[in-house]
Amino acid sequence: MDRIKILISGIPGKVGVNLAGHFLADGRFTLLPVALTGPGVPEEPVSVSGASIAIVGPERHREALSRLKGQEGGFIVIDYSHPSAVNANAALYCGLGINFVMGTTGGDRAELSRTVEKSASCAVIAPNMAKPIVGFTAMMEYMAENFPGIFSGWDLSIKESHQAGKADTSGTAKAMVGFFNKMGLDFSADRIFSERDLERQRRDWGIPEEHLTGHGWHTYDLTSPDKTVKLSFTHNISGRDVYYPGTADAAIFLSRRVAEGNRGKVYSMLDVLRQA
């Protein structure tokens, strides 16, 4: 298999830098020495595992992508940028016919899918790229589809904790709300409790010190109407390495679908896992 060319949107963000190091070490990929960044970030080269990566600000995104497409041919953008940039970034990629993996949460997700479907681009879009969590949400989706109303009348609480720099509520938690609604629970995403305070994360949640700046902890508590039955589901991610295998699989999957001639298609991480 020819190496898949990768460009990251979201450096010098911590997830973007982490993924860049993994892509550089993975013989299946070639990481292009250019990355996109957001407003207000200095356009100074970033060193990752000894490689220098040029940083391109928003006003030069279109120019840089157009030039690289002419120079490199096909490549895949891996987007771990910012929720406020999701829809604009997708519109840019699709306008240039560039395929992408959207690991960034937030934005208007319905509009995001419509943007891809109206274009010649293909994309993998998911609220979580970590394969163990994708598997867990798939189990919950199965319950929702096959046992609708099973928890009618029950109470639900959802709490999630992420590093202080995460700007939006957990995309995984939001996706879970939809599944629980189908199971009969009356709950809306604006009732999710989101923790971003370092001291409370340390004291109340017990999150290890070394992972306070990079984690994703979630707990879903369900209680029966008479309070005699309680179910709890917890998934905790500490660190960022877990996102690489899923992101890499998504890039390979997307490359294969494009090579088959697909255009204007939106894929999920479940599609990726089924083909892995």
Cite the active site residues. Answer: 162, 166
Tokens 């109303």: give the residue: 149
CA-wise closest residue to 18 among 254, 201, 247, 269: 247
Task: Fill in the amino acid letter for 87.
Answer: N
Task: Report helix, strand or coil for 197.
Answer: coil
- Please list the residues that pair with 36 across neighbouring strands: 9, 56
* Token pair listed for 18: 């982490």
Task: Report helix, strand or coil for 249.
Answer: helix
CA-wise closest residue to 147 among 179, 189, 122: 179
Q: What does R_g of the chain's alpha carbons equal in angstroms? A: 19
Residues 107, 84: Cα–Cα separation, whole Å: 6
Eight-state DSSP code of residue 133: H
CA-wise closest residue to 192 among 173, 164, 205, 179: 173
Task: Report helix, strand or coil for 232.
Answer: strand
Eight-state DSSP code of residue 149: T
Chain mean position to CA 203: 28
